Structure 1
Amino acid sequence: MLLITGCGVVPGGGSGGSGEPVTVLTFAPEKTGATNMPGMNAMADTYARWVNARGGVGGHRLRVVTCNERNTAQGASACARRAVEEGAVAVVGSYSQHGDAFLPTLEAAGIPFIGGFGISDEEFSSYLSFPVNGGQPALLAGHGLQLAGVCDRVALVRPDSAAGDQLPELLNAGLAAAGNSTADVLAREDATDYTGVASRARTEAGTASGDAGPGSGPDPGPGSGSGEEPRPGCVTAALGERTETFFDSFRRLPEDGSRVRVSSVIGSVGQSLIDRTGGRGGPLEGAFITGWYPAAGDSRWAEMRQVIADHAFADNRVDPADAGVQTTWIAYTVLASVIESLDTDEITSRKITQALDEGVRVTTGGLTPELRWEHEDMLGIPDFPRIVNPRVTFQVVREGRLVAQREDSVDVTETLSGSVAD
């Protein structure tokens, strides 16, 4: 008997459709000492309640099983086994750094992995993975592009882990557009204080004295810079949930006259963190942020926000500004499109995989480009061959809100290709 806590089953409300129920599983870490993504499981439950109240998906009631991945390889493996035991036809909108622990189990059972968060390399190489974003690779490469014309020097604070080892190369691929590169500052992912790390990062990034402060200065777009005064240095932190702890340590450093701004990527920084750290008066005011999707206030999120308002039942885990919640919404949009495309009453993992492989097209209301996973749709980058959505968005914290820095998204295909070539 499999013993696992933190798992649940949500059959959904309403009578559902006339076909057999379709079971899927979503997993993410909750209540751990490192990164937690409780909104992903909660969004999966919310989505099930919504579609079942509307009659299900393609005439089938959606049965969602959720599982706490615990941020461990053992937890990820246990959740994959749970998917097999529950007869899931897909794992949808999930988060794990341990792709090597859960994907072999899903592959052995023929269960597709749809719309993972994009934090593990295996999500972009497994033949049963169907990503909806470019994951951490696209974020870091894009972030380098965002900072290339803005920062004089860049210090990257990242986990001292296998997952963190690839981040400097990716960031450097974008920074190369301005002939720049990053100083690599390693940090423990589970530390409770980053004062020493923050001091080193500021030293590595610091420029000549002048107007200091992480949120000071104008909000230039990428490629800007008049040359009339030195550009600030930038400290970029990509520590997942511990990014908050880092910026708390950073803001407590005594002033030394350095002109330094801060930056990060979605997944490490979001609106909830900006709010918790003081909003417009906090250390993240003026920060540059790279994301996968439009800013949370964009009208293209209106349907998701309404679904949350109507069906989350005041579950405060479901934050519409959270990248995990957003990714889960998009992943379930993909699932629904695939099921509705099948000309059969029997929904199986094999039929879902076949539809995805044979080019089912999914539109997401402009939240992503049109998604399709045929061979010719994939970038073919050796390290990340299954990326089909290489676009990122440049955002900035202004008046305490995470808003678009530029309206259009940015394609990082060439930048990612350069990171491999180098």
Structure 2
Amino acid sequence: MTGRRSRRSPARLALLTALTAALTASCGLLPAGAQGGGREPVTVMTWAPERTGATDKPGMPAMAEAIARWVNASGGVDGHELKVLTCDDGNDSEGAAACARRAVREDVVAVVGSYSQHGRSFLSPLEAADIPYIGGYGVTGEEFTSPLSYPVNGGQAALLAGNGRQLGEECGRVFLVRPDTVAGDALPGLLDAGLAGAGAGAAVDVPAPESAREYTAQAARVLSAGPSGSAKPDCVTAVLGDRTDTFFDTFRRARAAEGRDVRIASVLGGVDQSLVDRTGGARGPYEGAYVTGWYPVASDDRWAPMRRVIRDHAFDDNRIDPADAGVQTTWIAYEVLRRAVAEVDADRVTARAVHRVLDDGLSVGTGGLTPELRWRFEDLLAARDHPRLVNAEVTFQTVRSGRLTATGSGPHDLTGTLGATP
């Protein structure tokens, strides 16, 4: 039989098409961008400063875009295509407000996994539009007071208090080099609360320009103080964001000239594995440094799913560093979003619906990266000045043989310490 084509009746073709569609959907094989059952896309925004020359976090919006590609390649979020908008807040209040106003105009259902130092500027527009702010970096106090904010970590407050607890156990006198900004003014009290929790005295406060090119004056102030007389070494912790390495570069040269034994420390975000690697690893200046973080060390197997997404969907985007605390926070925040959208389970997801789900007791597991996250009133830890705090855990780490390594039994819960902060 040649020259003949198989013919199928319209009814049979319709049946085959319906069966194929049903099988595809049941296997989770919706094509990228498909909207199962006519479901509308879910649009969110992720923002961060990217090109300011100060504290930039370009990896956070880049990670959000990679997550969207991964999610959509897998059929979307509960059948919804995930659309991610990004915004550079310029590290100023006007830029932060402009990003928030754009989020309102674009009718996003949430702002997810973002960084900004200007909480007052961006939260007011979001609150007026009932848009939840999920998993901010925690650098502002407003992120822990706004009823529309759903933090996934303890923010700068937990890091500084935890760093104080860590250094109080290891050091004699402690110096804090921090930005001479409104946000920076809150840091000494937090570090001192942690030091007090370890039975140590208050730190010496050393304010510094946030975006300085060198920190000779601040290094000299630390080194000119002279030995404290304690059996433990003096320590200097720097919390300057992207400028932390600039300070330590100045400091280590000055320390070598003085011949002083002053240990160095920071919080994750100021010192991370990529910085240790590019400055010489085990032979570099960060060997032996004390570091406080929110999450398990970057080499921990619990980060394997995130690393797979970066490998398969980031397309060699060098903005994304899996050891960066901002990238890690964005990953966790999008897990919260995915769970919330699935719980809404509607063809059209709204910001108000996501807000309601989060308030009604949605419980989000993160594979051990954080404790179970939940934001009901009874789950809030009621730490002073941080009423929205639900996760006050930190990890203590030390650079050993060129690798950030967890120390102690950890994680350490700083709820009580933050509650005692003046």
Alignment check: 8 A CA contact 2:33 2:82 kept: no
For 1:64-98, what per-residue CA distance to the aligned partner results, in whole angstroms no more than 9, with x for missing partners? Answer: 00111111111111111111111100000000000
- Which of 287, 290, 294 lines up with 1:288 in the alignment? 290
Alignment check: 8 A CA contact 2:161 2:190 kept: yes
Q: Aligned AA for 2:252?
A: R
Are residue 190 (structure 1) and residue 244 (structure 2) matched? no
1:119-268 counterparts in 2 under 5 A?
Answer: 119-176=139-196, 177-204=198-225, 206-207=227-228, 230-253=231-254, 254-268=256-270
- Which of 413, 416, 422 lines up with 1:414 in the alignment? 416
Alignment check: 8 A CA contact 1:391 1:412 kept: yes
Q: Aligned AA for 1:244?
A: D
**2-structure distance, mates of 1:256, 1:191:** 23
For 1:106-150, what per-residue CA distance to the aligned partner results, in whole angstroms no more than 9, with x for missing partners? Answer: 111111000001101110001100000000000011111111111
Tell me what 1:272 maps to. Answer: 274
Secondary structure at the aligned position of 2:81 is classed as strand
Secondary structure at the aligned position of 2:257 is classed as coil
Tell me what 1:317 maps to. Answer: 319
Kindly state the Cα deviation for residue 276 of structure 1 after the two structures are TM-superposed: 2.7
Alignment check: 8 A CA contact 1:16 1:53 kept: no
**2-structure distance, mates of 1:381, 1:407:** 23
Identity of aligned residues (%): 59
Structure 2, unpaired ranges of 5+? 1-30
Q: Which moved more, 1:253-262 or 1:329-338?
A: 253-262
For 1:22-69, what per-residue CA distance to the aligned partner results, in whole angstroms no more than 9, with x for missing partners? Answer: 000000010112011000000000000001000000110100001111
Secondary structure at the aligned position of 2:245 is classed as helix
Are residue 362 (structure 1) and residue 383 (structure 2) matched? no
1:24-39 counterparts in 2 under 5 A?
Answer: 24-39=44-59
Kindly state the Cα deviation for residue 401 of structure 1 after the two structures are TM-superposed: 1.5
- Which of 341, 344, 348 lines up with 2:343 in the alignment? 341
- Which of 90, 95, 103 lines up with 1:70 in the alignment? 90
**1-structure distance, mates of 2:181, 2:225:** 21
Tell me what 1:80 maps to. Answer: 100
- Which of 100, 109, 124 lines up with 2:120 in the alignment? 100
1:363-378 counterparts in 2 under 5 A?
Answer: 363-378=365-380
Q: Which moved more, 1:342-351 or 1:124-133?
A: 342-351
Secondary structure at the aligned position of 1:184 is classed as strand
**2-structure distance, mates of 1:61, 1:110:** 22
**1-structure distance, mates of 2:378, 2:226:** 41
Kindly state the Cα deviation for residue 205 of structure 1 after the two structures are TM-superposed: 7.2
Tell me what 2:7 maps to. Answer: none
- Which of 283, 307, 310 lines up with 1:305 in the alignment? 307
Alignment check: 8 A CA contact 2:264 2:286 kept: yes
What is the alpha-carbon root mean square deviation over aligned residues? 1.5
**1-structure distance, mates of 2:380, 2:224:** 40
Are residue 57 (structure 1) and residue 59 (structure 2) matched? no
- Which has a greater percent of helix? 2
- Which of 401, 404, 411 lines up with 1:402 in the alignment? 404
TM-score by length of 2: 0.90
Q: Aligned AA for 1:37?
A: K
Alignment check: 8 A CA contact 1:172 1:182 kept: yes
Tell me what 1:211 maps to. Answer: none
Alignment check: 8 A CA contact 1:80 1:102 kept: yes
